[in-house]
Amino acid sequence: MSFTIAIDGPAAAGKGTISKAVAAHFGFAHLDTGLLYRAVGAKTLDGTDAIAAAQALVAEDLEADNLRSPEVAQAASRVAVIAEVRAALEDFQRAFARRAGGAVLDGRDIGTVICPNAEAKLFVTASAEVRAERRFKELVDKGLETRFETVLADVKERDARDRDRAEAPMVAAKDATVIDTSALSIDDAIAAAVSAIEAARG
């Protein structure tokens, strides 16, 4: 039996952490959909055609060691504008979502575009200031020099781009449970997500 959990939201709201915890709690498979474009981009760096790479993508490709590199990030942004790539990756996501045993997908448009019929939908958000502070601390912990104001501006710019784009804008699905993590601990946010999903499961 399949059961799909769609988790959307802006960067640094905590949706990735919540998604992994929810998947572990219910014993479901988890897909970070942002990795799909990185995996395709990585293959193009080896000379593979982007459309062919997207159409042949398998789950194991998402475990490559180099997916977080700057070169792959740039390649991902280049392939993301190719309509045939987006179509192929939508097919991949939908197939993953209906796999036996249940699936959790997190991204920007899962509950609205990829899986509008998902059995459970969450929209995980937080204020831009809180999300920027989280991202700022991450960068500092990695030894990278930056300013909070710069990170906050980046967060707001990305929010605007995701929210205002013509194709698949980032919005909460009408039937999604909104979880604002601004004042929640990770444990409390996960508990809220699990509670909402258990309610959806009946």
Cα separation values, 21 from 45, 61, 90, 190, 198, Å: 32, 22, 24, 7, 14
Give me the CATH number covering residue 135: 3.40.50.300
Domain co-membership, 108 together with 160: yes
pLDDT of residue 70: 67
Q: Is 101 annotated as a binding residue?
A: no
Which pLDDT tens digits describe the chain residue by residue (202 residues)? Answer: 789 999 999 888 999 999 999 999 999 999 988 899 899 999 999 999 999 999 999 889 998 988 877 688 778 878 887 888 888 999 889 999 999 999 999 988 899 999 999 999 999 999 999 999 998 998 899 888 889 999 899 888 878 877 877 777 889 999 999 999 999 999 999 999 999 999 999 8
Asked if 100 and 2 count as a contact pair (C-beta separation under 8 A), the reply is yes
Domain co-membership, 24 together with 41: no
Domain co-membership, 91 together with 157: no
- Give the domain range for residue 21: 1-28+103-202
Q: Crossing angle, helix 186-201 and helix 15-26, to 10 degrees?
A: 50
Domain co-membership, 137 together with 202: yes
Within 10 A of 116 (CB to CB), how many other CB atoms are there? 14
Domain co-membership, 92 together with 184: no
pLDDT of residue 168: 77
Q: Is 15 annotated as a binding residue?
A: yes
pLDDT of residue 6: 98
Give the domain-ending residue among 83, 100, 117. 100
Domain co-membership, 182 together with 149: yes
Domain co-membership, 165 together with 202: yes
**pTM recorded for the entire structure:** 0.85
Q: Is 16 annotated as a binding residue?
A: yes
Domain co-membership, 200 together with 107: yes
pLDDT of residue 8: 95
pLDDT of residue 78: 82
Q: Is 13 annotated as a binding residue?
A: yes
Q: Provide the number of structural domains found in the chain.
A: 2
Q: Is 11 annotated as a binding residue?
A: yes
pLDDT of residue 46: 92
